[in-house]
Every structure is written in structure tokens, then in C-alpha cells.
């Protein structure tokens, strides 16, 4: 494997792509530390730390994950890539329900470019709306326990905040597209992964602080517990890799056709169906719903809302049960949006393909639907277990959530999926130039893009 990494820098084109990707990620990370004008970032960080300790998780925690910590400091990249992800999800849902967009999506490369353009417009609109309400929220000291977050409130501050955060979100979107065109890997996914991995040094330092003994007492955590945590993390990575790579292959046979003097077709191919087709989207949808009362409680300190929020604190029984149920539900929901068995069966029939033992047309569509439903259930259950694992292990081992988050959850799924996808692209470049890949046996399969 070390030789394969060395070979990546022997190819000028591949070396250039890797260096461009690293440079763009460095620019992104630098932007997560540039403060938004007119905001006291230190007081805001104290507020979010107190909020996490008293109320558990909120939607701000999900946003902070995707922004690489920028939302808690409210830097120029505070919105992160979330507006783009939201716009992509909205466009994907609208493509299913609006015939004109569905027709556009089937027009190949030109249709895809048009939909991407609509996604960019949607990103800017969502950024403007989100940044405006963030500005209104920041102006009121009552939302922060009397802390003065904004030095000079008014329309000047609101317009400046909208302009700053919207420009930052659009710039991040542009950086992701530059990685896609001139670098290596999926640009948007790599930006999210860079933000997640930036938390690793902080998590390691927290573990060291818990293990290190003081002058008067032993450390808060036993060293064997730290070793046990490392073993759990390795097992979690293996399980996530297995879930990400798992797929069910359905054989499809195409008959031979004689065109002129050539015999075409006659080969047998496979249609792979992912066990976890939705990726991290079911977890994001489920957590957004469960954490919504706690987030509303930050803006509206209503007694009833506060009681509901306290009952859905991360790690509690109700939070775990409801989150697991919603993840399984959204796994089916997202799979139903992503796959249309009827269209797939019609395309196979159009080109003469058939599944051995299954008649073309409606029987094929029914068979494909049956297979998808069968593999979605275990995939959804395992995804739900991985999602709640950080809460369970965090409460059991008495470690901060920032450390326990590496036992599973959204962060680990994104990091593993993006890493596999990037390694696959680098490996294909090496093999194309007659170099050995990262693995001498077997092949690395990439993941399907889920947002």
C-alpha cells in the first residue's frame, strides 16, 4: 500500500490533481476561522457549549458537523455545504413529482447540467433565507441568556450578515465544483469529510486529558478503557465498510443480435443493488425530526416544548427508539425515490434483457421491487444501530460526544464512504497507467452518491 501511495506522485497528472484538491481543502479550512463581521464569536462559542451540556443535541449540532465547526463560531463559512445539500434533496424530490423535471433528468448530460444549475440557484436562495433568520436571531440577547453577541444591530448588520454567509456558501459550492473538475474525488463530499476529520485532534486531546493523571488523583478514564474505545472504533469502521460495500447482484441476460456481419450481445451482466442505498440521508432526516423540538426550544422557551425536548435528549430511551424507527422508515422512503422498478424493467425489455427465470415487463418489476424491499430492511436496521451507537457507548464509557461520535453515526459513515470513493478513483488512475493499486487482491467498490 505504501508503494501505491508513492506511485500516485510519480504520475504528473494524478499528482497535480491531488495537490489541487489539497490546496482547495486548505482554503476551505482557512475560511472556517475567518469571523463574520459584527459578531462576538467567543461568546457565541460559549453559548453553544452550554447549550450542548444542558439540552443535548440540536440541529445546530448537525449543521456544525457539516460545516466543520464553523457554525459554532459563526465564521464566513458558517452555513457550510448544508444549503447545497438541502437544495440537492429538494431537486431530487421535485424530479420525482414534477413531470417536466423528470423528463429533463432523462435527457442525458444536458439535462443533468440544467438540473445542476437549478440546484445552484436553490442553494443561493436557501442561503439568503437562512442567513437572514440567523441575523435576526443573533440580534436578540434574550436568546443567549443576556449575552451581547452582536455589537451593532440593525439593517446594516442584517444585510452584511446575509451577504457574508450567502457568499461564503456559494464560494464553498464553487470550491467543490473545482475539486470535481480539476482535482480527484467528489468535491462536496471531500469538503464535508475535511470538516469532520478536523475534529480528530480535539477528540484525541480530550481522550488524553481524561486518561492523564493529575497531581492529586488518577485520570478520569482508565487506560484500558481507552484501549477498549480504540477496539470499538476499529470494529465500527469494519462494520461501516461492510455496510457501505454490501450489495445484491441480480443477473441480467441479453440475447445475441446479428448486425451486418457482427454478432452483438449474448453476454450476462449484473445489476448491483446497494444494501444501504440511502447512505447517510436517512440518519440526517431522522435526526432533523427528533432534534427539532430542542432546536425550537432555543428560539421559543415554551414550557411544553422544553418538556418534549428534555424527553428527546440524545442518549435517552425515547430518542433512541424514535430515531431507529425513523431511520428504517426513511431508508425505505429514500430507496423508493431513488429506484423505479417499473422504469428499470421497461428499459431492460426495450433492449431485450431479461432476468433468468422471470418474465419481462411487470413480473420483472415486481421481482426487482421484492429484492429491494428484502435488502432494505437489514440495511436500515444496521444503519439505525450504527446511528445510535455513539450515544450508547458515550453514556456507557462516560466520554464526550465528540469522542463517541467516532464509534459510528453520520460522521463515520461519511468519512468511510468518501474515503472508499476517493481511493477507488485514485486506484483506477494507477491501473490505467500500469501501476498496482492499493490492494493486490480484490477491488475497491465506490459508493453511490447519496446527496
Q: What is the pLDDT of residues 188-238, one digit of tens each?
A: 888 888 888 888 887 788 778 777 776 555 667 777 877 888 888 888 888
pLDDT of the residue at 450: 44
If you average pLDDT over residues 3-16, what whole number do you get? 76
Question: Would you place residue 411 in the very low, low, confident or very high pLDDT band (cuts 50, 70, 90)?
Answer: confident
Q: Within the chain, what is the greatest distance between any pair of CA atoms?
A: 89
List residues bridging with 354 in a β-sheet.
253
Distance CA 428, CA 434 (A): 10
Average pLDDT, the chain: 79
Report the pLDDT value the prediction gives residue 230, as an integer from 0 to 100.
Answer: 83
Mean pLDDT of 61-81: 78
Domains of the chain by start residue, with CATH: 1-198 (1.10.3370.10), 218-407 (1.10.3370.10)
pLDDT 10s digits, 337-351: 777 888 888 888 887
Task: Please report the pLDDT score of residue 451 as a whole number.
Answer: 45
31 has pLDDT over 60: yes
**What is the grid cell recorded at 8?**
500516485
Task: Please give the average per-residue pLDDT across 144-166, as a whole number.
Answer: 85
Q: Can you give the pLDDT at residue 137?
A: 82
Rounded to whole angstroms, the Cα distance separating 252 from 232 reads: 40
Q: Which of 224, 250, 277, 195 is nearest to 368 (CA)?
A: 250
pTM of the predicted model as reported, rounded to 2 decimal places? 0.78
**Which CA distances in Å does 436 have to 9, 262, 309?**
13, 35, 53
CA distance 209 to 106: 55
| Strand partners for 302 | none
SS3 content of the chain, % helix, strand, coil (to 5): 70, 5, 25
Q: Per-residue pLDDT averaged across 412-432, rounded? A: 81
**Is the predicted pLDDT of residue 2 greater than 80, yes or no?**
no
Instruction: Look at residue 154 in the predicted model and tell me its pLDDT.
Output: 86
Q: Give the three-class secondary structure for 137.
A: helix
Q: Over the stretch 72-130, which tens digit does the pLDDT of each residue have?
A: 778 888 888 888 888 888 888 888 788 888 888 777 778 888 888 999 999 999 999 98
Q: Highest mean pLDDT range out of 27-36, 85-94, 162-171, 418-427?
A: 162-171
- Grade residue 164 by pLDDT with cuts at 50, 70 and 90: very high
Task: Output the pLDDT for position 216.
Answer: 59
pLDDT at residue 60 is higher than 90: no
* The pLDDT of residue 125: 92
Residue 5 pLDDT greater than 80, yes or no: no
Task: Please give the average per-residue pLDDT across 391-405, as a whole number.
Answer: 73
Lowest mean pLDDT among 86-100, 322-336, 386-400: 386-400
* Residue percentage of the chain with pLDDT more than 70: 82
- Neighbouring C-beta atoms of residue 202, cutoff 10 Å: 12
Stretch 371-387: mean pLDDT, rounded? 88
Is the sign of the CA dihedral 280, 283, 288, 294 positive or negative? negative
Q: How far apart are CA 89 and CA 212, in angstroms?
A: 45
From residue 167, alpha-carbon distances to 77, 80, 157, 171, 224 in Å are: 9, 11, 15, 6, 48
Residue 450: name the closest of 189, 238, 246, 64 by CA: 189
Grid cell 427528533 in the structure block, residue: 290
Q: Determine the Cα–Cα distance for residues 394 and 411; give it in Å rounded to an integer.
A: 15
Q: Give the pairing of strands 262-265 and 256-259.
A: antiparallel
Neighbouring C-beta atoms of residue 34, cutoff 10 Å: 14
| Residue 269 pLDDT greater than 90, yes or no | no
What's the average model confidence in pLDDT over 249-267?
Answer: 70
The predicted pLDDT at position 1 comes to 57
At residue 266, the pLDDT reads 61
Whether pLDDT at 263 is above 70 = no
pLDDT value for 166: 93
Amino acid at each position: 500500500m505504501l508503494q501505491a501511495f508513492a506511485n500516485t506522485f510519480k504520475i504528473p497528472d494524478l499528482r497535480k490533481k491531488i495537490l489541487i484538491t489539497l490546496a482547495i481543502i486548505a482554503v476551505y479550512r482557512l475560511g472556517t476561522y475567518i469571523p463574520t463581521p459584527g459578531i462576538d464569536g467567543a461568546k457565541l462559542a460559549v453559548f453553544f457549549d452550554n447549550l450542548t451540556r444542558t439540552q443535548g443535541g440540536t440541529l445546530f449540532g448537525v449543521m456544525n458537523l457539516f460545516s466543520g465547526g464553523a457554525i459554532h463560531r459563526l465564521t464566513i463559512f458558517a452555513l457550510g455545504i448544508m444549503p447545497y445539500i438541502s437544495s440537492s434533496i429538494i431537486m431530487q424530490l421535485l424530479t420525482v413529482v414534477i413531470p417536466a423535471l423528470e423528463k429533463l433528468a432523462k435527457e442525458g448530460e444536458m439535462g443533468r447540467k440544467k438540473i445542476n444549475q437549478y440546484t445552484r440557484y436553490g442553494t443561493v436562495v436557501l442561503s439568503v433565507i437562512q442567513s437572514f433568520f440567523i441575523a435576526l436571531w443573533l440580534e436578540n440577547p434574550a436568546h443567549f441568556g443576556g449575552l451581547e453577541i452582536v455589537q451593532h444591530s440593525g439593517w446594516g448588520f442584517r444585510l452584511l450578515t446575509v451577504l457574508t454567509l450567502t457568499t461564503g456558501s456559494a464560494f464553498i459550492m464553487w470550491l467543490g465544483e473545482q475539486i470535481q473538475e480539476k482535482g480527484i474525488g467528489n468535491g462536496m463530499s471531500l469538503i464535508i469529510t475535511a470538516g469532520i476529520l478536523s475534529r480528530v485532534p480535539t477528540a484525541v486531546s480530550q481522550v488524553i486529558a481524561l486518561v492523564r493523571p493529575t497531581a492529586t488523583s488518577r485520570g478520569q478514564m482508565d487506560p484500558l478503557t481507552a484501549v477498549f474505545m480504540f477496539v470499538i472504533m476499529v470494529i465500527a469502521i469494519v462494520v461501516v465498510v461492510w455496510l457501505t460495500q454490501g450489495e445484491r447482484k441480480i443477473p441480467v441476460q441479453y440475447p445475441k443480435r446479428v448486425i451486418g456481419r457482427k454478432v452483438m450481445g449474448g453476454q450476462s451482466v449484473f445489476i448491483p443493488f446497494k444494501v444501504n442505498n440511502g447512505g447517510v440521508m436517512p440518519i440526517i432526516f431522522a435526526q432533523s425530526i427528533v432534534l427539532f423540538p430542542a432546536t425550537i426550544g432555543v428560539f421559543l422557551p415554551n414550557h411544553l416544548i422544553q418538556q418534549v425536548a428534555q424527553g428527546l435528549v440524545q442518549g435517552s430511551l425515547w430518542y433512541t427508539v424514535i430515531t431507529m424507527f425513523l431511520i428504517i422508515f426513511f431508508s425505505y422512503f429514500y430507496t423508493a425515490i431513488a429506484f423505479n422498478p417499473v422504469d428499470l424493467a421497461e428499459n431492460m425489455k426495450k433492449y431485450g434483457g431479461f432476468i433468468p427465470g422471470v418474465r419481462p415487463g411487470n413480473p420483472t418489476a415486481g421481482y426487482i421491487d421484492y429484492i429491494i424491499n428484502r435488502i432494505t430492511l437489514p440495511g436500515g436496521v444496521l444503519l439505525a444501530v450504527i446511528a445510535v451507537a455513539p450515544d450508547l457507548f458515550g453514556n456507557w464509557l462516560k466520554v464526550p460526544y465528540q469522542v463517541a461520535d467516532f464509534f459510528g453515526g453520520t460522521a463515520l459513515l461519511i468519512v468511510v464512504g468518501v474515503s472508499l470513493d476517493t481511493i477507488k478513483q485514485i486506484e483506477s488512475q494507477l491501473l490505467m497507467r500500469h501501476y498496482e493499486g492499493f490492494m493486490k487482491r480484490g477491488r475497491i467498490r465506490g459508493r453511490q452518491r447519496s446527496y
